[in-house]
Amino acid sequence: MKFLKRHLYILFILPPFFVFAQIVENQLQQKMDTTNYYYIIKGDSIPREFINLEEVVLLTKLQFISKEDRRRYLILKRKTRKVYPYAKLASERLLIMSERLNTIEKKRDKKIYTKRIQKYIEEEFSEKLKKFTRTEGQILVKLIYRQTGTTSFELVKELRTSWRAFWYNATANLFDISLKEEYDPFKNKEDYLIEDILERSFQENILIRQEPAFPIDFLELKSFWNNKTKKL
């Protein structure tokens, strides 16, 4: 009888104990599930629950039809990397000038400031630009459009006069350079290759990335040209 009572006692006591233990375990699990973890990024004092990672475009190895095709790409790469910093710098200078002009009220003061910036840009770039080849000059014109959203002709016209802009463009045309050239990597194969060179150079930390004046989806661009090549 004592043996039976003992087992009945265990039978009635243990189930509530297990139920209680399960409840405690579930509560602990819920507490752990609702625990928020925060991260502190080096150089930043604000704790963050999530870390935003930059989108990385995975670039495949380029395929060339011929050795000559590869040689032309390598020449274009060298020239693009050479002139891009000047297009980037021009964009930065124009942005500073535009922001400063917005704070100047008097027309006369705006004119004086514009001439000062104009002289500064000419003195800073003139000697270096003279050393560029014709193709380097044309690539620079395209990249200036990429970074500013404006043709070099319009920029000269804005900084100088319509007559000066016309004269500069006429002079440039003698060297087969058009200041009115735009940058459109979806229509122009060379512009696409330039964009490819830039993206690879940014990822390799050879050039400092500066976002273009208009959106360019490189994955969409690459897919567009890959599909176009397959149809040929």
Most confident of 29-33, 75-79, 171-175: 75-79
In this structure, are residues 91 and 145 in contact, taking their beta carbons and an 8 Å threshold? Answer: no
Q: What's the distance, Cα to Cα, between the start and end of the chain in Å?
A: 95
Which pLDDT belongs to residue 214? 94
- pLDDT level of residue 79 (50, 70, 90 thresholds): very high
- The DSSP letter of residue 39 is B
Q: Return the higher-pLDDT residue of 66 and 22.
A: 66
What predicted TM-score, i.e. pTM, was given to this entire model? 0.70
Token match 């990385």: residue? 56
**DSSP strands (E only) in the chain:** none
Q: Taking 70 as the threshold, does the pLDDT of residue 12 lie above it?
A: no
Structure-token pair, residue 95:
């942005």
Q: Taking 50 as the threshold, does the pLDDT of residue 8 lie above it?
A: no
List pLDDT tens digits, range 148-189: 998 877 876 776 655 455 545 555 554 567 778 899 999 999
CA of 188: how far to CAs of 143, 178, 194, 218, in Å?
A: 13, 15, 10, 14
Report the alpha-carbon distance of residue 141 to residue 182 in Å, rounded. 8
Spatial CB neighbours of 114, under 8 Å, sequence gap ≥ 6: 97, 101, 159
Which pLDDT belongs to residue 10? 39
Percent of the chain with pLDDT over 70: 62
Structure-token pair, residue 22:
């399960």
Cβ atoms within 10 Å, residue 201: 17
pLDDT (average), residues 119-140 = 76
Q: Can you give the residue ranges of every domain in the chain?
A: 67-231
**Sign of the CA dihedral 109, 115, 119, 125?**
positive
Which pLDDT belongs to residue 189? 94
- pLDDT level of residue 211 (50, 70, 90 thresholds): very high
Which pLDDT belongs to residue 108? 87
Q: Taking 50 as the threshold, does the pLDDT of residue 3 lie above it?
A: no
Report the alpha-carbon distance of residue 34 to residue 48 in Å, rounded. 16
Burial class (CB in 10 A: 0-12, 13-18, 19+), 118: middle
pLDDT (average), residues 99-103 = 84
Structure-token pair, residue 105:
């009220």
Closest CA to 188 of 146, 230, 219: 146
CA of 201: how far to CAs of 82, 142, 189, in Å?
A: 11, 17, 18
